[in-house]
Amino acid sequence: MNTLKRSNKAIEIAQILLWVMICTLPPMFTFLSEHNWEHTLEALRVGFKLQSPIAAIYFINFYLIVPCFLFKRRSFKQYALANLTLLTAVNLWFYFPPSKLSPEWQSVFWTIIIASFLFQLFVVAFATGMRYIIRWNEMELKRQAESQKSAEAELVWLRNQLNPHFLFNTLNNISSLIQVDADTAQESIGQLSDLLRYALYESSQKEVPLANEVAFMRDYIDLMRLRYNEMARIEVDLPDPAPNVMVIPLLFISPIENAFKHGVNNRRPSFVRIRLTWEEGQIVFQIENSRHPKAETDRVGSGIGIENLRRRLELAYPGRHAYRQSQTDTTYQVTIIIKP
């Protein structure tokens, strides 16, 4: 988006500099060849006299005729009539009466008129083309702004959808823990309040420090240890990230939830491995868990969080992320790579 803005500004500045150069280059060459200020000033006067009508045609088209008649009214007839009037006025002012021209120019008067008119038509076409380029850039900027606004609105909707999903899963975990160990479940209530505070309030921001996300993941994993520690081997490698790295909130929680929900079985050996690294300017998150056959009722709703995550990645990091998942008969792995 910024590139298009700079492009429009560069075009407007470049065209002004171009016409200044066209008017000043002849006298500059005169001065360099003759070192005579009198001749140089005369060349400058003649240069402006010759080029100012052409420059007027260009800028009147660029700033007035094209926007007024082609963009607003969408009338090519009015655009053509306005240009015909402009070219006629310029030629009447510059060439008529023929007697004001030098004798050698009077002999080829109509040749000059026709050649000038054809060149002026080229200037009109060039000004129109340049104005359309800027117009296209402006429309593209508007489209991108609307697309970004729509994406941000959808991100907010997806995040709001994720919060109750996360709350439901967490309460379900605590409910299961109460049946096993009421004292431990009571301890987990305090941890749950911290998690919910983050999910409901801090996650309302567009981006949060990656360090906050890591702390949130650690708290959630600690909560899961209370329930699953005796059932599964839980390995976690979540080093402290650089403080200036920002990410969208609740970025990695859905794969972690699914890993504990589907990867831990109290009848079979189970494991969950979670790892986060910062490599060459990109975040690499990997999670692997044991894979067990699940009842159909356990699978209901299991894809909501992941589909939500994949859509959020597409909106927040277009062309700057990768989501990969793989599985064997005994393991399931998810890898997320993003470039903040």
* pLDDT value of residue 230: 75
The strands making up 270-279's β-sheet, listed across from edge to edge, are 232-237, 270-279, 282-290, 331-338, 321-327
Tally: H helices and E strands in the chain = 10, 7
The pLDDT tens digits of the residues spanning 308-339 come to: 889 889 989 999 999 999 999 899 999 999 99
To the nearest whole number, what is the mean pLDDT of the chain?
79
* pLDDT value of residue 301: 46
The answer to whether 138 touches 192, Cβ cutoff 8 Å, is no
* pLDDT value of residue 17: 75
The pLDDT tens digits of the residues spanning 81-134 come to: 999 999 988 888 877 766 666 666 656 667 777 877 888 898 899 889 989 988
Q: Which residue has the tokens 């609307």?
A: 146
Specify the 3-state DSSP secondary structure of 284. Answer: strand
What residues pair up with 237 in beta bridges, in sequence order? 275
pTM above the 0.85 mark? no
Report the distance separating Cα 222 and Cα 93, nearest Å. 86
Report the distance separating Cα 241 and Cα 245, nearest Å. 8
Domains of the chain: 2-142 (no CATH), 181-338 (3.30.565.10)
Can you spell out the DSSP letters for 43-101? Answer: HHHHHHHHHHHHHHHHHHIIIIIIIIIIIIS--HHHHHHHHHHHHHHHHHHHH-SGGGS
160 or 249, higher pLDDT: 249
Pairing of strands 270-279, 232-237: parallel
